[in-house]
Structure 1
Amino acid sequence: SSKTQLARLRNKWTASVYAFFHPEPEIEWRGVKGTNDRKKYLKFKCVAPRCRSTGRHGPYVFCALEGSDSTSTKNLRHHAEGCYGKEALAAADRVGSGEKRREIIAGRNNDLRDGSLVLAFKKQGPGHPTYSARPPTKAESKAYHVRWAAESKRPFEIVNNPGYQQNMKEGK
């Protein structure tokens, strides 16, 4: 039956990308392009409340149940990358278990691409600190400058210095 087949398959879903989709996919029969054949597919739904997918299936991703590509997660990763960004996917890869990944995503209210989801994953993962390739928001940038001034024991008036402002505008 479909339920036992899903239960058996679920044990094999260890890739981090599955955390970005609802844990209970549907099984759907779909036509094979260019033929009269039909194949079984898993229909995964993105957990993002406002999915950013631009694909023709919206928040859904289809994965073949049979054939050589039945274990491929490429289309799932492509979709999750579009919704959450490469950084969030890479951060999820560094976290241990699938349940822990799901808890982090659910706990962050699915903040899309704002960096907080990546930070939540970083707090869980081992290893050396990593740095964002995403440019900081204006508020984050201000917070970094205040922190820098406080930690380096510099007067906060330094931010009004014309030389400091010029360096910040040039990004040096």
Structure 2
Amino acid sequence: MMKHWTAPIYAFFSPLPSIQYVDGRHCHIFSCLGRHCKQTVWRYLDTGDKGSTSNLRKHVKSCWGEDTLTAVSDAANLNIARDAVKKCTINSTITAAFEQKGKGKTTYSTQPQTKVEIRLELDCLFVWLALTKECRVEIIHWVAESLRPFEIIKDCGFQSLMKTGQPEYYLPHLSTVS
């Protein structure tokens, strides 16, 4: 059966899957080769789609990132794909792991910004400063009125509370509040 596994998607998984019976059903269990991934993907052999790779692709997309999946999918054969996977690093954003299912805006990424994004951000910086001045005043007022130490700006709970509902909200630096 393994001789039919020539698709590049198999390069992301251990070359020899474990074979088990789960609830009396025969299945192959593929182990992901991601550096910190302990995930396994099961493929039952008593179904009509026993050769389907869609569940493997779905895992690779969430674990390694769509860019890596696309790049390796273009490989000519499985051996070339395996070499490419060895050289790859996981490139998905940290927010992919904590992706919001409902309303909200995803704002953080581990990937560096492009020059165009940096220029756009610098252009918007002056607008941000004008918008957050009133917010800074309110935070200073709240800290002073409730006799809280200025260190509260560094508190994770406070930051979470302030960013709830608006994750792009700017919190001023400790020295700005004090």
Distance 1:136 1:18, change over 3 A: same
Query: For 1:39, which of 13, 22, 25 is the aligned residue?
Result: 25
1:137 counterpart residue number: 112
Distance 1:168 1:45, change over 3 A: same
Assess if the C-alpha contact under 8 Å between 2:63 and 2:92 holds in 1: no
Query: Does 2:21 correspond to 1:24?
Result: no
Unmatched segments (≥5 aa) in structure 1: 1-8, 32-37, 52-57, 116-133, 146-164
Q: Equivalent residue of 1:72, what SS? A: coil
Distance 1:170 1:73, change over 3 A: farther
Assess if the C-alpha contact under 8 Å between 2:26 and 2:44 holds in 1: yes
One-letter amino acid of the structure 1 residue matched with residue 17 of structure 2? P
One-letter amino acid of the structure 2 residue matched with residue 113 of structure 1? N
Query: Does 2:62 correspond to 1:82?
Result: yes
Query: For 2:49, which of 65, 69, 94 is the aligned residue?
Result: 69
Map of 1:1-172 to 2, 5 A cutoff? 9-31=1-23, 38-51=24-37, 58-108=38-88, 111-113=89-91, 137-138=112-113, 141=114, 167=120, 169-170=122-123
Return 82-91 or 41-50, whichever deviates more.
82-91
Q: Tell me which stretches of 4 or more aligned residues in structure 1 moved more than 6 Å.
A: none
CA RMSD of aligned residues (A): 2.7
Quote the Cα distance in structure 2 between the aligned partners of 1:166 and 1:113. Answer: 23
Quote the Cα distance in structure 2 between the aligned partners of 1:45 and 1:98. Answer: 17
What is the TM-score when the length of structure 1 is the normalising length? 0.55
2:167 counterpart residue number: none
Distance 1:73 1:137, change over 3 A: same
**How far is the alpha carbon of 1:99 from its aligned partner?**
0.7
Quote the Cα distance in structure 2 between the aligned partners of 1:136 and 1:13. Answer: 33
Q: Equivalent residue of 1:11, what SS? A: helix
Quote the Cα distance in structure 2 between the aligned partners of 1:166 and 1:103. Answer: 37
Quote the Cα distance in structure 2 between the aligned partners of 1:166 and 1:49. Answer: 34
**How far is the alpha carbon of 1:168 from its aligned partner?**
5.5
Distance 1:41 1:89, change over 3 A: same
**How far is the alpha carbon of 1:167 from its aligned partner?**
4.5
What is the TM-score when the length of structure 2 is the normalising length? 0.53
**How far is the alpha carbon of 1:39 from its aligned partner?**
0.9
Aligned residues: 108
